[in-house]
Amino acid sequence: MVAVDVKDIVTAFGSHVVHDGVSFQINQGEIFGILGGSGSGKTVLMREMLMLNTPKEGQIHVLDYPVHKLDDKSKQDLRMCWGVLFQFGALFSSLNVLENVMLPLLEYTNLPKPFIADIARMKLRMVGLEESVVFKAPSELSGGMKKRVGLARALALDPKILFLDEPTSGLDPASSRAFDSLIVSLRDLLGITVVMVTHDKDTIANVLDRFVIIGNKRVKACGDYATLMQEEPDLMQKFMES
């Protein structure tokens, strides 16, 4: 089953062309990576899946929703199916940690508030945060903690698909590995499809089921680590070194 289908995407900002015919598919339940050198347009690609940017040409289907031609109601329906973790957490600065995680539940469900608080606390514990951070303001958190709160918030509505933008960037090696295992266990437990933009060599080698390498405005390679190491050793060597 295909979770995300990217077809013939052309992206341009004015005369600057970022993608010129990018196509790949993401299967349900896999942890998929979008890789590429700096400036290759990986984040832009993910933003196009999230309807934050519009490609010039091409189609993207997320969970069978044709992202390029949805009406407002369908857009909202789709947004309820995913969770997004931005690179620096993007927590709402006017709310504390617990309120940040509770917000999607408060807005979109009729559950009673104390129950929602329980769910939020549970998600925060799930991502490895302790009770002591629960009432802190986002400005009082370290980078790693912000990312974890962001992840808890992304998981608030039990999404079918999780989008992560450079989840381990800025984290020390131990925290990065801990974050990786958290993602894997979430996928194993909840069957979420995970799409991440990442540079992290350990993540690429150990966590991703498959990935796509974007370069020169196109897809340079797509597949799993073992196969690509065999079939495209030059590209992989160049890429993993860089």
Partner 1 sequence: MVSLFILEPTPDALHVKCHGKWEHDTVSSTLNHNFKTPLKNIVFDLTSIDTIDTAGAMALLHVKNLLESQGKVFEFQGASKSTQGLLDLCIEHSSTHSKPHKEPKRFSDGLVNIGKMVEEYWLTFMAFISFVGGAVSALGRSAVNPKSIRFRATLYHMEHNGMYALPIIGITTLLVGVVIAYQGAVQLEKFGANIFIVEMVGIAATRELAPLIVAIVIAGRSASAFTAQIGVMKITEEVDAMRTMGFGSWEFLVLPRMLALIVSMPLLVLFGDGVAVLGGMIVAQAELGVSMSEFLARFQETVALKHTLIGLIKAPFFGAIIALIGCYRGFQINSSTESVGHYTTISVVNAIFWVIAFNALFSVLLTELGW
Contact indicator for 206, 180 with CB cutoff of 8 Å = yes
Our finding on whether 79 is near partner 1 (CB under 8 A) is yes
* Tokens (6 digits) for 44: 């832009």
CA 167, 31, 221, 4 dihedral sign is negative
Site for partner 1 in 99-118 (CB under 8 A): 103-104, 107-108
Binding segment toward partner 1, per CB under 8 A, in 62-70, 88-96, 114-122, 201-209:
88-96
Instruction: Give the neighbor-by-neighbor strand order of the sheet with 16-27.
Output: 16-27, 2-13, 57-62, 65-66
Our finding on whether 65 is near partner 1 (CB under 8 A) is no
* Shortest Å, Cβ 84 to partner 1: 4
Burial of 88 (0-12, 13-18, 19+ CB in 10 A): middle
Please identify which residue in 63, 84, 194, 195 interacts with partner 1, judged by CB under 8 A.
Answer: 84
* Shortest Å, Cβ 164 to partner 1: 12
Mark residues 163-192: x for contact with partner 1 by CB under 8 A, - for none.
Answer: x-----------------------------
Q: Site for partner 1 (CB under 8 A): how many residues?
A: 22
Helices (H), 55-161: 72-79, 97-108, 113-126, 143-154
The residues binding partner 1 (CB under 8 A) are 47, 50-52, 75-76, 79-80, 82, 84, 86-88, 90-93, 103-104, 107-108, 163
